[in-house]
Amino acid sequence: MIAQLALALLVTGGDPASPGGERARREPVRLLTDFDEPRLVGRLRALLVGALPIFERETGRDLPEDEVLVLNLYRDLGGYQRGARAAGVTGFMNVGAVTAWSNQESFLALQPRADAAYLEAAGWLPDLTAQLALHELAHQFIARARLYPRLALPSWYSEGVADHLAELALTELVYDAGGRCLMLEDARQSVAQAVAEDSAIPLEELFTLSELELDAHASRDLFYDQSAAVVRFLAGDGLERWGGLFQGYLDELARAGRSEPGLEFLSRRAQQRERWLELVADLPALEAEWRGAVAPAAAAWVEREGSSQWVGEDVLVAALAWQDNGYVRAGAPAPLAARRFEGQFRLLELDGGEAFVVLHEPQADEGGLKLSVRRDGFVALVGWAAGRQDTRGGRSAAPLGEDGFVRVTIEVEDGGAVVRLDEHEPVRLELPRGFPAPGGAWGVGAWRDAALWRGARLR
């Protein structure tokens, strides 16, 4: 549990719902969905119900008896967009997760995919859906528990607290039993790496971003991860020096939100964000202390596109249903001019897509190099960069097996590579011309599909 003083920082199945409407208090959490998979719905409902007492414990505030937390879950992005727009939401249409201002209900598209084969591989509740649902429920809890007036909180704190509470609930309800969450490992490494490389979002920018600016921010994912890290800092290492100051700022926002008419309060949002900078006074000291408190982290895999999660010792990588690529990068780079890749994969064959290995991830102006493998046994080495692509392909002696994992090895030779799938005859391919040799940043993934990867390494 967070220290008592730190608590103050947080304090001060049918069809998805149509916006508005009175609800009798029958249960504190309600899940409404157009998706009829009982295993997913049951697991998600249990997670949400279990999270509520954690939110109450960590904030020191109970959900009022006349309030119900409502999550509207949709099987696809189109349904989510229609539901969110009906509630007056205008942004975050392609994110697939939002809590509406109008009725304080949360809206979520099942992510990354609704295919039965994927859901079974993910244990019937994908990590991404679980994290997003808890994040949005935390937003809703803060509003419905009347901790602060709606929209009183600055974006970084609102999102950081929601991520922090979601992480606490995921850890306690799911991962304390010995499981692992690739998303949480990735988030910690993302912040640690940004601090180490001096690419973290400056606190002055983080503190003053608005909701509209956040929706299109170039470092949107880092914004969420870093905001949660700053919240943890203010409630932990930075509590003694900065905690009381920040609590005074939150109380000031709360008083203004309760005393001013809604439109007048909203018109002063930029001034309210700047007010925190005035109160801090010594922003460089806060920046230095926060950066110094970030612990080193070393995740095995880092999400780059789509969604990835641990399934035992395997990594399940999937493209979002409305995007093309799911890609997870190895946490540690490979030696430059690496000569051998080995690993196993099982392609779920959801949309007739491909599994792939990125042998060299593009950096700056240089191109990338990857191997793609289709179900019919066709393999291709692809070099790609802005405005150009070079593909060298060939076919294995037989299509991939229908069940189980396929072992793939790549041996790099001068000017070419030998690719072997299981015990089939190897395929000899030229290396694409003008592209880097394997090595450096690398990873595995799936194109318009999902794949389980096992034992992948490049050396």
Q: Percent of the chain having pLDDT more than 90?
A: 62
Q: Say if residue 88's pLDDT is above 70.
A: yes
CATH code, domain with 322: 2.60.120.560
One domain for residues 40 and 184: yes
257 and 382 part of one domain: no
Same domain, 31 and 121: yes
Name 50's Cβ contacts closer than 8 Å, sequence gap at least 6.
Answer: 169, 173
Rounded mean pLDDT of 64-89?
A: 96
Q: How many Å apart are CA 225 and CA 385, to the nearest integer? A: 29
Residues 268 and 305 occupy one common structural domain: no
CB 455 within 8 Å of CB 342:
yes
Q: How do residues 319-344 score in pLDDT, each as one tens digit? A: 999 999 999 999 999 998 889 999 99
- The model's pTM is 0.90
**Overall number of domains in the chain:** 2
**Which of 250, 268, 293 represents a domain boundary (last residue)?**
293
How far is 290 from 238, CA to CA, in rounded Å?
7
Q: How confident is the model at residue 402 (pLDDT cuts 50, 70, 90)?
A: low
Report the pLDDT value the prediction gives residue 7, as an integer from 0 to 100. 33
* Same domain, residue pair 43 and 116: yes
Same domain, 305 and 254: no
pLDDT tens digits along 260-313: 655 555 556 677 777 888 888 899 999 999 999 998 888 899 999 999 999 999
User: Residues with Cβ < 8 Å from 419, sequence gap 6 or more?
Assistant: 371, 379, 381, 394, 396, 408, 409, 410, 426, 427, 428, 429
End of a domain among 274, 293, 312?
293
Domain check: are 89 and 205 in the same one?
Answer: yes
Say if residue 249 is in the same domain as residue 323.
no
Residue 71 and residue 159 in one domain = yes
What pLDDT sits at residue 291? Answer: 96
**Comparing 7-16, 51-60, 143-152, 306-315, which segment has the lowest mean pLDDT?**
7-16
Q: Which of 275, 293, 311 is the last residue before a domain boundary?
A: 293
User: What CATH number is given to the structural domain containing 222?
Assistant: 1.10.390
Q: Could you tell me if 285 and 314 lie in one domain?
A: no
Query: What's the pLDDT band for 40 if we cut at 50, 70, 90?
Result: very high
pLDDT tens figures, 368-400: 999 999 888 899 999 998 878 999 988 876 667
List helix spans (H) across 145-219. 155-170, 182-196, 203-208, 211-215
For residue 411, is pLDDT > 90? yes
Lowest mean per-residue pLDDT among 80-84, 118-122, 239-243, 327-331: 239-243
Asked whether residue 369 falls in the same domain as residue 274, the answer is no
Residue 267: its pLDDT value, please? Answer: 56
Q: Quick one: 415 and 443 in the same domain?
A: yes
- What is the Cα–Cα distance from 227 to 302, expressed in whole angstroms? 18
Q: At residue 334, what are phi and psi to the nearest 5 degrees?
A: -90, 160
- Domain range holding 73? 4-293
